[in-house]
Amino acid sequence: MEDEKMSKKSFYVTTPIYYPSDNLHIGHTYCTVATDTMARFKRLQGYDVKFLTGTDEHGQKIQTVAKEKGLKPKEFLDGIVGNIKELWKALDISYDRFIRTTDEDHKEIVQKIFQKLYDKGDIYKGFYEGHYCTPCESFWTETQLEDGKCPDCKREVKFAKEETYFFRLSKYQDRLLELLQRDDFLQPESRRNEMINNFIKPGLEDLSVTRSSFDWGIKVPFDDKHVIYVWIDALSNYITALGYLTGNDEEFKKYWPADIQFVGKEIVRFHTIIWPAILMALDIELPKKVFGHGWILFDDDKMSKSKGNVIYPEPLIELYGVDALKYFLLREFSFGNDGSYTNEKFLQRLNADLANDLGNLVSRTIAMIEKYNDGIIPQPTKDGEFDDSLKELVVNAYAKVEDHMEKVSFSNALEEIWKVISRANKYVDETAPWILAKEEENKERLNTVLYNLAETIRVVSILIRPFMEKTSDNILRQLGLGESKANWEDIKEWGKLQSGLQVQKGEPMFPRLDIKKELENLVKTNQEFIAKRRGQNQEEEIVEDDSITIDDFDKIDLRVAEVIKAEKHPDADRLLVLQLKLGEETRQVVSGIAKYYSPEDLIGKKVILVYNLKPVKLRGIESHGMILAADKGKNLL
């Protein structure tokens, strides 16, 4: 299989499948952008790439959150997954399949996998008792707890006992130790040492792989009182997506084993202990590499919705473009370590690297070709001082970038590219084309300088392509080239740019930013996005806690209205759609009071309406205003 895989130059890369109990933030974006960049890099090198991402949609937490929102689990998930797909679209993520563990093909194959493991004797029935963390959906022993709390999320746990099926994880302890002692399977090294010292050497216990206390999951094929737990359900997605255990397994034969699986450090244990053990039990080859990246922190604190410090990618894309965000994520942080995000760092990096370095180089190169050679890329005819050092750096860059990418060192790969950009900017100052242009006798030398700059930005446009495809296209377009000219092989030698092309100057790719002004703008835009998203997800208006003045109160137009019609919202159990009569006018209002009133109870009632509230859509239905109510204990009046 290995010979066949290499002869076809196939490459299989995966993100973890994300748990969609809420909308994804910049931390999730980090992993997906990195995986996408690796996929794009391998495609540019000529590989046949399969890029998988998706969502892990079963479990108690999903069922609980959906119930709290008055929705069925799948109904709740469809909204969140829709937002995730929209985010990946905004980020131009080039995945080949988005798998959901609620997909029918996935569910069928997971049942076959479970049956196969059971028939082999690697799954057996028993009872489990231990400390259970609902948010992490994990059982912990007494010794694994930290201060009596979950060692992963630091939340409270509860003691639970239930009938379960176990996977014989302990059976594979020696083989797992041997696997993790290799230096090529799990990276970075710090993660490898953690798995060996904290989990393997203390001894592995058999793993509970079913639950009977909830039913939102894939049923055990021979015991429908149990649902298959996350370990087998979610982890198996990497092979179910390829058609494993189906009659149509061509993709499985072609792409498996995975070349690299990207995961956050908090789930390295699942992907380098439990996942390999399942594959060993199935007699399947193991992934070639698992890379456990660090977290993006906010001012050195873990990003958390409860702390109110979550940064979402959508506002950053809206204000500064997708390439700016991608560049920052992969350049600012060393991928294997934690990194601290601040808006100041983001904006300063945009100014320094994108506006001053890259944007400036492209802009003045194209401008000088237009000014000094009528917009035509000239023929180089007269070499001079500084040329060789520039050319040497440019033609050697691809090999250094390749080396860093093989080591999954995105920041170092970009640093190598920026060395070329910085050298080219210095070359402009060294050769001073504006001085050469003053004397006709320097025309040949000027032409060579202009060509060298144009050739350099052509190479740069291809080097940055896996990281910033839109910017790459922009540069190629300004050089008079098309996307077909983005060929990795064409940057391994100097002089591939054709003379005589007409350049096409564009708008500045990365305008210089006023940091102070943009900080205010960014905070405001992020707050507006959070407010909008909260309104969509919670199906209710957002009321700010800030005090108001009598002048603010005077702006509110309150009117008495009569309910003439009421019915349940078709897409939300907590909402009622009301038709209100105000004199000759009829108003439609969506209100979250279905828990307290049935539609028929409201007909004929007089209510207070906030008449001049800005209209909003709640779960797809427009609401013109808000009715007021007061609570008394657990009742609404």
Per DSSP, the three-state class of 48 is strand
Alpha carbon distance 270, 276 (integer Å): 9
Q: Report how far apart, in Å, the C-alpha atoms of 294 and of each of 10, 187, 263, 335 are.
A: 27, 11, 9, 6
Among residues 99, 90, 97, the alpha carbon closest in space to that of 33 is found at 90
Alpha carbon distance 567, 602 (integer Å): 10
Q: Tokens for 143?
A: 């010794």
CA dihedral sign, ordered 97, 101, 104, 110: positive
CA dihedral sign, ordered 35, 39, 45, 48: positive
Residue 66 host element (H or E) = helix 60-68
Cβ within 8 Å of residue 78, ≥6 positions away: none
**Secondary structure letter of residue 497 according to DSSP:** S
Interstrand relation of 48-55 and 10-18 (parallel, antiparallel or unpaired): parallel
- What angle separates helix 469-478 from helix 360-373, to the nearest 10 degrees? 10
Among residues 270, 293, 235, the alpha carbon closest in space to that of 33 is found at 293
CA angle, residues 172, 194, 210, in degrees to nearest 5: 45
Alpha carbon distance 251, 477 (integer Å): 36
Supply φ then ψ for residue 304, to 5 degrees.
-155, 135
Alpha carbon distance 252, 305 (integer Å): 38
Q: Say which residue the tokens 């009528």 belong to.
A: 374
As a whole number of angstroms, the longest Cα–Cα distance in the chain is: 94
Cβ within 8 Å of residue 611, ≥6 positions away: 557, 558, 559, 582, 587, 625
Using an 8 Å Cβ cutoff, are 371 and 528 in contact?
no
Q: Which residues contribute to the annotated binding site? A: 133, 136, 150, 153
Q: Which residues contribute to the annotated binding site for Zn(2+)? A: 133, 136, 150, 153
